[in-house]
Structure 1
Amino acid sequence: MPQLNPSPWFFIMTISWLTFSLIIQPKLLAFITTNPPHSKAPKTIKTTPWTWPWT
């Protein structure tokens, strides 16, 4: 069965992985995010328990 032969597919996967890791990924990581995270204190919301009319 030709689909079990790893020879051509392993080479294609290796070249694709190296292309992504060495060329594309550093270019993507170089972008500055448009909304940088802020160190704000999280809001604490005071909740009241629900009053059920039948209890």
Structure 2
Amino acid sequence: MTSSHSHAGTCVQVRGVDGGAAVRDSKNQGGGYFVADRAQWSAFMAAVKADRFGG
């Protein structure tokens, strides 16, 4: 799924997989992906929601 906040392809795509999430660059879909387990993904999302990245 691509974020509804994606602008001109400058976003990531995330797909739920067994035990976590697979993430790839929406501009370079053939460039591979990484997988975060549930705990890693939950920690990342909590940090995003807490604005820990200053965005």
The structure with the greater share of residues assigned to strand is: 2
Identify the structure with bigger relative contact order (alpha carbons < 8 Å, sequence gap 6+). 2
Q: Point out the structure with the larger helix share.
A: 1
Fold similarity call, TM over 0.5: no
Larger radius of gyration, structure 1 or 2? 1
Tell me the TM-score normalised to structure 1 length. Answer: 0.30
